[in-house]
Structure 1
Amino acid sequence: MNLIIKTVSFTPNHADAVLDAWNHSMGFILPITPRLFKQNTTDERSFCPHSSFAAVENGEVVGAVIAKRWPGETFGYHPGGDVGWINFLFVKEGWRGKGIGSQLLKEAEDSLREQGCARIHLGRDVQHFFPGVPLELTESIDWFKGKGYQSGEVVFDMIQKVEECLTDLSIPQDQNFHFKRGQSGDEPALILFLQEAFPGRWEYEVRSLFERGGTARQFVLIWQGDRVRGFCRINRPEDAVIGSNVYWSELYKGKAVGGIGPLGVSSQVRKSGLGLKIVKKAMQELKEDGVEVWMIDWTTLETFYNKLGFEKWKQYLQMSK
């Protein structure tokens, strides 16, 4: 029988209890540090406090749901105009099967609907934890299907150990294009490129990165004269903003982890082999930084990355309602 318990608006005061419970039972999927949790929830503009709740029983936090929606018409971009996200939904062991998850999800959905959201995605939000529901969580997938969520495509993470890499990372000289790691002062040129070539989420995320203390050094850039024609982000866990492809670094304690992506090339110069070259340059830079494991997240480009020695690792089912 379902147990109706008290729900309150989620605040940073609930984070420690939720994190302890999550890492105790779900740390094998994604161990979440306090810094990462704060970054991806209450510190993120898209965090929706009116639609995020904690379930509390006798002073104990037994579950939580965190929802997001696009924070206004930032940079003139709105993903569909009516989209909300469930960033995080969790019920503590010993309290499952009592309807608490259903209660939390319904309250978040009702609130997002009242704010104009007509579609909700599970994960894949700005500063997401997951790009979908991890495939190994079969019971969770079935549970969400029972709540009306429909299955989409399967996306995945990829991985490669530097010591096992057989790929030649050298890049032939090209008189038209130059591949360089970003330097201080390159930020405006990168933003201009993103405005023109990839307006929307990527522009928002890069601007947010710079606002939080990140620099152009976290990117490899393709230059044609004085114009940026392509970019690839490179991440380390200690960066000012933790990139999504190094969330898994806690699973590789003792190893230096680096993330590659997202990446994009201007439509005017695509099909020139620039995509593979810029990833090679990113691999070079991270290797020189002492990285021992390269990681790529949220992709379907298995054949592309296989050419560079990456193998499929984690998989996720995208779901929406």
Structure 2
Amino acid sequence: MSELDSGIADCLRSWNHFSGSRLQIQAADLGWNLKAQKLVNYEARKLAGIPVLVATASAEGLAAGLSAHSLWLSLWGELQKTGEFIDELYQLARASQKKRLVFGADEFHFLPGIPTNIPKGRELIRHLREHQWTLGEVFDLVGRAGSQAALRYIDEGEELAKDRGWTVAALPVASAEVAEPPTWAAPPTLSGEFELDELDRFLHQEFPGRWHREFNFWRGRHDTACARWLGLWIKRKLAGFVRIAHRGDPEVQSDRRSRWIPGALRLPLAAGNLTGEGGAPPDDRAFNDGCLGPIGVAKALRGCGAGRVLLAGALSRLNNLGVDHVCIDWTDNESFYKHLGFERVRTYRTAFLSTLKSTL
């Protein structure tokens, strides 16, 4: 077992011990995802005896635009000595010559940040706030694609799309020569690799940074053959996108472990076990679990219903694929999804300090 594998195992034992059945994370999913990408280097360490994962930008990540001055961290253990932990954290930053410290919010969101229910967690948060750290809170949400609320939302979105002449259609998978049938309305003329290039241009213009980098990572690993990318088309022009995937997708079944990239770390537990009940073991994942995201529309179209149509189209496609539970991960917009029946299953506190010098 490598040092990273051993460190991951230590982190997960600690995390899963105190986090309860709704927050379980599997070693195979976390380990594979950490190693699959090349933009960030991960290292397992202990600070004040507490397991942490530390991430820094790789050479490839630096070339893609990641900061050379950032140190991403994830706290996985039961904090006992807050002062000692902070002292060792700052010592690590000095030794690494990093000026920006971040809990959670790493490039691929594989580091959960600060768990909300750890002993002395509030003490740590209070200390960080007193020392000018910027704090945030994000959630993993789970809902059902076929719930009554979701089905009403889908119907309303379809009516809005028809009324405005908008189209929600899937980009072709990498192995296909033509697009899948549209979710709604007639698709624009689509063929082969062109749509991926158009999505690349759209993300570069509308969402430069992390989403654009992650798309190119996924594209390079042929993720377009195992996840579904839907586009919102207005007047034959790409105006929004969303990515969906699920474990039961036939495109994934030929090699589920090596090709399952999207959302593997944060997929919900099996049906009936979301509240720790139903008899399923804590690490059991339902075959038809799925994930949705990222999702975004062009800046000029926000607030006019484009996002509503796109989300409704994604839920419709997931429902048609037979997906049961759907995870929307790392969102701070809980209120928006709540009326669709999505519930919070994990909460993370993020924190960052942009200038370490003022604290040392």
Give the TM-score normalised by the residue count of structure 2.
Answer: 0.69
Counterpart for residue 30 of structure 2: 37
Whether 1:257 aligns to 2:302 is no
Query: Partners in 2 of 1:151 and 1:183 — Cα distance?
Result: 41
Whether 1:11 aligns to 2:4 is yes
Whether 1:154 aligns to 2:134 is no
Deviations 1:15-36 (A, max 9, x none): 4454445434445353222332
Bigger Cα displacement from structure 2, 284-293 vs 307-316: 307-316
Return the offset for 1:277.
Answer: 0.9
Counterpart for residue 268 of structure 2: 248
Match of 1:126 among 96, 107, 129: 107
Q: How does 1:38-53 map to 2 (within 5 A)?
A: 38-48=31-41, 52-53=44-45
Match of 1:310 among 314, 323, 342: 342
Counterpart for residue 59 of structure 1: none
Whether 1:200 aligns to 2:209 is yes
Query: Partners in 1 of 2:330 and 2:37 — Cα distance?
Result: 20
Maintained 8 Å contact 2:19/2:117: no
Between Structure 1 and Structure 2, the one with more helix by share is 2
Give the partner amino acid of 1:34: A
Q: How does 1:56-71 map to 2 (within 5 A)?
A: 64-71=51-58
Return the offset for 1:206.
Answer: 1.5
Deviations 1:127-183 (A, max 9, x none): 224554233335224235446584623333333234533324131326653111222
Maintained 8 Å contact 1:155/1:299: yes
Maintained 8 Å contact 1:40/1:129: yes
Query: Partners in 1 of 2:148 and 2:322 — Cα distance?
Result: 14
Bigger Cα displacement from structure 2, 9-18 vs 151-160: 9-18
Partner of 2:269: helix, strand, or coil? Answer: helix
Return the offset for 1:126.
Answer: 1.7
Counterpart for residue 98 of structure 2: 117
Deviations 1:69-96 (A, max 9, x none): 23356565335x63221035436xxxx7
Maintained 8 Å contact 2:11/2:52: no
- Structure 1 gap segments, 5+ residues each: 1-8, 56-61
Bigger Cα displacement from structure 2, 301-310 vs 290-299: 301-310
Counterpart for residue 3 of structure 1: none
Query: Partners in 2 of 1:245 and 1:33 — Cα distance?
Result: 7
Q: Root-mean-square deviation (CA), in Å?
A: 3.5
Classify 1:129/1:165 alpha carbon distance in 2 versus 1 (closer, same or farther; 3 Å).
farther
Maintained 8 Å contact 2:167/2:233: yes
Partner of 2:261: helix, strand, or coil? Answer: coil
Counterpart for residue 298 of structure 2: 266
Maintained 8 Å contact 2:138/2:349: yes
Query: Partners in 2 of 1:134 and 1:165 — Cα distance?
Result: 32
Classify 1:305/1:229 alpha carbon distance in 2 versus 1 (closer, same or farther; 3 Å).
same
Whether 1:228 aligns to 2:238 is yes
Counterpart for residue 219 of structure 2: 210
**Higher relative contact order (CA closer than 8 Å, sequence separation 6+):** 2
Q: Tell me how many residue pairs correspond in the alignment.
A: 300
Give the TM-score normalised by the residue count of structure 1.
Answer: 0.76
Query: Partners in 1 of 2:306 and 2:334 — Cα distance?
Result: 17
Whether 1:181 aligns to 2:170 is yes
- Structure 2 gap segments, 5+ residues each: 174-192, 248-255, 275-284, 354-360
Maintained 8 Å contact 2:231/2:241: yes
Partner of 2:120: helix, strand, or coil? Answer: helix
Query: Partners in 1 of 2:219 and 2:83 — Cα distance?
Result: 36
